[in-house]
A and B are shown apart, each in its own frame.
Chain A
Amino acid sequence: MKDHEIEQWYSYYHEKFKIPKEYLRRDYEAELSGKNPMEAPLEIPDKMEIFFKYSLGQQSRFFRELRENKKIFGAKCIKCGKVYCPPRANCHLCYRQTEWVPLEGNGVIKACTVQYYTTSAFIKKVPFICAYVQLDGTDSLMMTNMEVEDVSRVKVGTRVKAVFREERTGSITDFYFRPVE
C-alpha cells in the first residue's frame, strides 16, 4: 500500500468503529507496511452491533416505577404468596399470575465476592463487590454490583439499602445498593 492508502485505511476503520487511530496504528502498522507474507493470516477490525427498541413486556411497570417514583416493586404470586424481585408476571411453580407489591428497598447480602478482573465494560471499576441481595419482603435474589471504598467490609449478612440515582433511565441501574452503617 502507498502512504496515502494506509492513511485512508486508518481513517476508514476509525470512522466506522470509533477506534482511536493510535490503537489501530499499534496493531496494524506491521501488516500495512507490507512486511507480512501474502500467505500469512490477515486480521481485520470488526464489530457486531444491533440497535433495539426493546419491550419490557409484563415487567414494564417495574421499570417505570423506578424511573418516575424511585420505588422498587416486587411481584407476589396470587396463589402461593412467593414474592419475586426481579419481578415476573407469572409464578413458575403455581402457573398463576402475580400482583405488584411495593418494597421498602432494604435488604441483606446472601452471597458475595470481590471482582478484581472483569469484562471490557466494567474493568475500570475493579475492585468491586458482586453479590446476591435478598430484598426484605421477597423470596428471591437480585444480582448487583457495589462500588465501596473497602471491599472487605461487605460480607454475607451485611444489610444494604437501595439508593436511587439522580439521572434515571428506566433500567435496573437506576438504583444501587449501599451498606447500612
Chain B
Amino acid sequence: MRKVAIVGMGTTKFKARWIDKTYYELAYDAAKMAMEDAGIGREEIGCAVYGIYNDFFQRQYQPDAFVHDYIGLGLKPMVRVNSGGATGGAALRIGYSEVASGLYDICLVLGVEKCNDCYNYEMGITTPEVLRAILYTADMTYDNPAGRTAASGFALAVIAHMEKYGNPTEEQMAKVSVKNHFNATKNPVAQSPQIITVEDVLKSRKIVEPFKFYDNCLYTEGSSAVILASERVARQITDKPVWISGLGASVDYVIPGNRPNIYTFESSRVAAKKAYDMAGIKDPIEELDLAELHDAFTGTEIMAYEDCFFCEEGDGGRLIDEGTVMPEGQLPVNLSGGLIGCGHAVGATGIMQTYEIALHLRGEAGERQQKNARRGLVQSIGGTLCTWTVCLVLEREDR
C-alpha cells in the first residue's frame, strides 16, 4: 500500500438553508475551493468519490452523476457512497483505497447534502418532513411503521448505557452541548455558535428521553471536499501534506436484536482499534492531540470517548467533568463545534471533521488553533444505533 496525503481541502459554510444553491452547486463551491487549495485543476484529478446520504433530501436518485457532471469530471471514474451519518468517513475510506492501491494518484473526495428542501406544508416547517425522509432508511417492513427517529435509536443506547454504568448523566451531556456550541463560536463556517449554560440545556424542550433540544445536532446544508494524493504527487504539489496514517472501519448488525448488547457501540470499538493499530497508537489519550468525534447527540459523544479508548468503558462522563476534552484540556474534542455546533450536513460531515483536523495540523485553524497539533482522530458514525463507524488518524509531516 502506498502512503496517502490530504493535499487540498475546502468547505462551504454549514448552515440550515442554502436557499440560493442546489446540491450540485454547493458541491461545485467545495470542489473549487479544494482544487484551488491544492493548486491543481479538474484535469489533474484521476477519480472521485462522492458522499451523499439521502436521495429524498436531494430530491434526486443517483445525485452523484449530476455532481460529477457539474464539476467537470466527465469520463473520469467515480463512485457514490451512502453509509448514513458515516457517509463522509466512508467516502474518505474509498478515496484512500483508490490512491493507496496505486490505481490513481489524485482522488477528489467530496460530500454534499441538502435537507431542508423537505417541507411539511401543514406545520409550515421542515424538520418533521426531514425526519420522515430519514425514516425510509429504517427497515421498511418492521421498523418504519413504529415512528421512531434516528434520535430515538441513539437515545435507547444512551439509556442502556446509563442503566449499566450510571452515566452519562443529564448534566454531563449538557456540558458537552455547552462545550460544542462554544467551540463553534470560534469557527467561521459553523451553523450554531452559541454561548449557553448547562441550565439552558437542561431546561430546553424534550425531544426524546433523555435528549433535550440542545442535546441534538441540527440539520445542515453544506459541502466539504478534500483532495487525496499519493506520496510522489503530494511531494510535488504541497509542502504541508497531512498524512492518513490510520484507517479503520466496521459495520455492525443493523438489527440491534442481533447484537449482544446495545449499551456500547461495537463498530466504533473495532474501527478505532484498527485505525490505532495501523497508526501505531497504543495509548490514544497520550498520543493524540485532538479529535473530532461524531456528536450527533451529546450522549453519544460521551460514549465515543469510551469507544475510541480515551478511557475505560463506563467512564466517559468523567472526561467532560474533569475538562479533559475541553479546548484547554489534554485531548480537546470537537474544536470545530462538532455536529452540534458546526452542523451535520450528513454526506459532508465526516469530510468537514477531516478538514477541521487537517486545518489544525497545518496550523491554519486561527483563533481555535490547537497548539503543536501533530496527530488527530476523526470518528464518523451512522445508521441505526451506530451501525457504521469509520475512524481516521491524521498526522502532520514532521512528527
Q: Which residues of A contact B (CB under 8 A)?
A: 19-20, 23-24, 26-27, 41, 43, 45-46, 48, 56, 59, 84, 86, 92, 111-123, 125, 128, 130-132, 134, 139-145, 156, 171-173
Contact = CB atoms under 8 A, between A and B. Distances in A.
24 contacts: A23-B122, A27-B124, A41-B19, A45-B121, A56-B141, A86-B141, A86-B255, A111-B156, A112-B159, A113-B159, A113-B210, A115-B147, A115-B149, A117-B127, A119-B128, A119-B134, A119-B147, A121-B147, A130-B148, A132-B156, A132-B257, A132-B262, A141-B256, A173-B145
Among B131, B135, B138, B147, max chain A CB count under 10 A is at B147
B24 to A, nearest CB: 15
Given A117-B207, A118-B152, A156-B163, 15 more contacts: A19-B121, A41-B20, A48-B59, A84-B257, A115-B208, A116-B207, A117-B149, A118-B148, A119-B147, A120-B123, A121-B132, A130-B156, A143-B142, A143-B146, A145-B148
Contacts, number: 126
Nearest to A88: B255
Contacts of B160: 111
B19 A116 contact: no
Contact of A130 (B208, B256, B257): B208
A175 B253 CA distance: 26
B236 interface: no
Contacts of A92: 258
Nearest to B259: A141
A59 B210 CA distance: 35
Contact of A112 (B123, B128, B132, B156): B156
Contact of B208 (A23, A24, A116, A134): A116
A123 B163 CA distance: 28
Given A48-B59, A172-B141, A145 B146 contact: yes
A49 to B, nearest CB: 11
A111 B148 CA distance: 13
Contact of B147 (A56, A122, A139): A122
B237 to A, nearest CB: 36
Contacts of A125: 147
Nearest to A26: B124
A67 B342 CA distance: 48
A140 B259 CA distance: 9
Contacts of A23: 121-122, 124
Nearest to B131: A119
B132 A120 contact: yes
B128 A115 contact: no
Given A86-B142, A112-B159, A143-B146, A117 B208 contact: yes
B76 interface: no
B372 interface: no
Contact of A113 (B120, B128, B208, B256): B208
B209 interface: yes
Contacts of B141: 56, 59, 86, 172
Nearest to B129: A120
A29 B159 CA distance: 46
Contact of A172 (B121, B145, B258, B262): B145
Interface in B1-17: none
A171 B262 CA distance: 27
A46 B148 contact: no
B219 to A, nearest CB: 13
B143 interface: yes
Given A46-B59, A116-B205, A140-B257, A171 B145 contact: yes
Contacts of A119: 128-129, 131-132, 134-135, 147, 149
Contacts of A116: 205-209
Contacts of B148: 115, 118, 130, 143, 145
Among A24, A84, A113, max chain B CB count under 10 A is at A113
B56 interface: yes
A53 to B, nearest CB: 14
